[in-house]
């Protein structure tokens, strides 16, 4: 009984201290700052959501816990954990980073459907817990916005060059102009596909490795193509000799671990650097 009587004033003082502390402690606030994409390529990207925690009190607080979800185009994206031990100084602001990783092919049945979009809608929700003198405070977070996916390189067929033309066939060089509108370089792999001229399949083109495409730049590569008139037909031979034809190229361009569709359908003029043999 004596111990209880002795503890009563102490408990009362602790309760009073907590009450006084709670009365003077102001709740920190949470505000969205920015969204950043890092390590972005044609397979995926790291998405970092940045939120500012502002502490109006004279004493510092620290990040206790975080629970959040990120949806992109209605699909749930795997989230990570923010770094522990984030300190928010008194009368100051600190930025907490909420990481997530997105794989583009998880957002649509076809990769091309995602990469052809100008922007992707996202929605973030959850809570951030802050340790304070009055215990763990939960700050709700909610934000909606858009992110920009990487863009497929623009590919166009330039006037093919007739390297040689003889009575049984021809050798062509098909120049492909590649334009990279992304702010990051594109390491390119190989390219292969089939070629039709005037509706007739004339052969395949392939290059095992292409040079890297610098950020915000363009370059032209040449694909070699050998044509046999015996298998391609009279219409193809006539078109080549006339110097104009309808050309279709269907294939695949590989870049950064992804296979990108290649579709070109153009009516073009031919440049001749070789003659009839």
pLDDT in tens, 132-181: 888 899 999 999 999 999 988 888 888 888 888 888 888 889 999 999 99
Are 37 and 142 in a shared domain?
yes
Are 229 and 244 in a shared domain?
yes
Give yes or no for a contact between 238 and 227, defined as CB atoms under 8 angstroms apart: no
In a domain, 8, yes or no: no
Return the C-alpha torsion angle 20, 24, 25, 31, nearest 10: 160
pLDDT of residue 99: 95
Percent of the chain with pLDDT over 90: 46
User: Domain end: 99, 121, 147, which one?
Assistant: 147
Instruction: From residue 36, give the alpha-carbon distance in Å to each of 30, 124, 142, 191, 253.
Output: 18, 14, 17, 31, 28
Instruction: From residue 19, give the alpha-carbon distance in Å to each of 12, 13, 100, 130, 247.
Output: 10, 10, 39, 19, 81
Determine which of 76-90, 119-133, 136-150 has the lowest per-residue pLDDT on average: 76-90
Are 89 and 177 in a shared domain?
no
Q: Provide the CATH number for the domain around residue 87.
A: 2.60.40.1820
The domain of 207 spans 154-272
In the block, tokens 């502490």 appear at 55
In a domain, 20, yes or no: no
Q: Summarize the chain as % helix, strand, coil (round to 5).
A: 15, 55, 25
Are 125 and 37 in a shared domain?
yes
6 membership: H or E segment, kind and range: helix 2-24
Are 179 and 119 in a shared domain?
no
Are 229 and 139 in a shared domain?
no
Are 138 and 158 in a shared domain?
no
């Amino acid at each position: 009984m004596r111990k209880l009587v002795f503890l009563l004033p102490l408990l009362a003082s602790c309760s009073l201290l907590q009450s006084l502390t709670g009365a003077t402690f102001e709740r920190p606030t949470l505000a969205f700052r920015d969204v950043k994409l890092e390590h972005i390529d044609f397979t995926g990207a790291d998405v970092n959501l940045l939120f500012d925690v502002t502490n109006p009190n004279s004493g510092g607080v620290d990040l206790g816990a975080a629970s959040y979800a990120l949806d992109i185009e209605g699909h749930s994206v795997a989230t990570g954990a923010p770094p522990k031990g984030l300190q928010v100084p008194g009368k100051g602001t600190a930025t907490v980073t909420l990481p997530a990783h997105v794989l583009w092919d998880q957002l649509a049945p076809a990769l091309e459907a995602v990469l052809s979009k100008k922007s992707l809608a996202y929605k973030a929700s959850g809570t951030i817990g802050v340790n304070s003198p009055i215990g763990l405070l939960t700050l709700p977070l909610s934000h909606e916005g858009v992110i920009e996916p990487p863009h497929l390189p623009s590919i166009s067929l330039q006037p093919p060059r007739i390297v040689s033309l003889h009575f049984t066939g021809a050798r062509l060089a098909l120049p492909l102009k590649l334009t990279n509108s992304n702010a990051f370089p594109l390491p390119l792999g190989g390219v292969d596909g089939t070629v039709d001229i005037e509706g007739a399949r004339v052969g395949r083109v392939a290059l095992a490795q292409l040079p890297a495409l610098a950020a915000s730049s363009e370059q032209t590569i040449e694909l070699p193509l050998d044509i046999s008139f015996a298998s391609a037909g009279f219409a193809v031979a006539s078109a080549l000799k006339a110097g104009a034809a309808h050309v279709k190229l269907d294939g695949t361009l590989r870049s950064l671990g992804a296979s990108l569709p290649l579709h070109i359908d153009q009516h073009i003029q031919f440049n001749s650097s070789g003659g009839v043999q």
